Structure 1
Amino acid sequence: MIGYLVSKDQKFYIPSEIVCTDETRVPFRGRLKFRQYIKEKIHKFGIKTFKLCVNGAYTYNMKIYCGTESENDWVLVADKVVLGLMNNLLDSGRILFTDNRYTSVGLARKLATRGTHFVEILRSNRKCNPKNVITASLNRGQIFGMENDDGITVLK
């Protein structure tokens, strides 16, 4: 049902150049196999959804998290989630913003090949990060960065 509603909404709304991915928990206390419990939250029980949001906080696409994904490595699952949410918007020159949960140099490479720019906060322990940038010791206000052969720039 949600897939049907999302596809109908996408027919009538053309998003701007800038889009963003994030996750949300919808409060839910009923019985459901994939309901999540997070002790620290105000609403402790809920359903996790991955969302692609556009200008005006409009949810352009979403996916409900129904339990463990098939991949063991979170980076691969995050790549799948982001690419799935962006499916209709790839190859159109858009700019995607994400938080550090969905970031990796590999995902940036995949999106670059599909004509999508990627702005992210990169976790320092991710694979394929340039060691020189991660270990650089900087003073306040300094910036250090490197660009690889694919045109992906990592800054600190």
Structure 2
Amino acid sequence: MPGNGALKARLRADYPYILEYRTRWSDNDMYDHMNNSIYNFLYDSVINTYLMEHCGLYPPTSPQYGMVVHSHNDYFSSISFPACAELGLRVNQIGKSSVTYEIALFEKGVEGVKSVGEFVQVFVDRKTARPNANGMATTLREGLERIQHKDYQSKI
């Protein structure tokens, strides 16, 4: 993942898929901003919404499902109820069975990014909970490729 300065400069236009989320009173913590755990909840939600809407994945019954094997988040400024969040999603890297997502959280009507996170999923067979020898399903891969950032350079 790029350095903190590059992440802090992210724009909505850097993300081909945007999902709105209306914050809830219960999202706030005692410091009057969205609790850290909610960010992961939202990141997981935007990823699964995209997978269901554009990749033919239905997590409860699909032959393959994604397991999160890595996640992290960089926080830049807070957001709190009653703000509306806009979650930007893109794919930075696709492997045989894995995908690296980048997710940004913006506040509707506010220019700067609030946080940028990364999730890595490995798609496994439902029966074995192991990656398929042939990799991820074609429909899944094609859907992920539609939001892949072509110029991303991995630091790994």
Whether these two folds match at TM > 0.5 is no
Higher RCO, 1 vs 2 (CA within 8 Å, ≥6 residues apart)? 2
TM bucket, shorter chain: under 0.3
Higher strand share: 2
TM-score, normalised to structure 2, is 0.22
Structure label with greater radius of gyration: 1
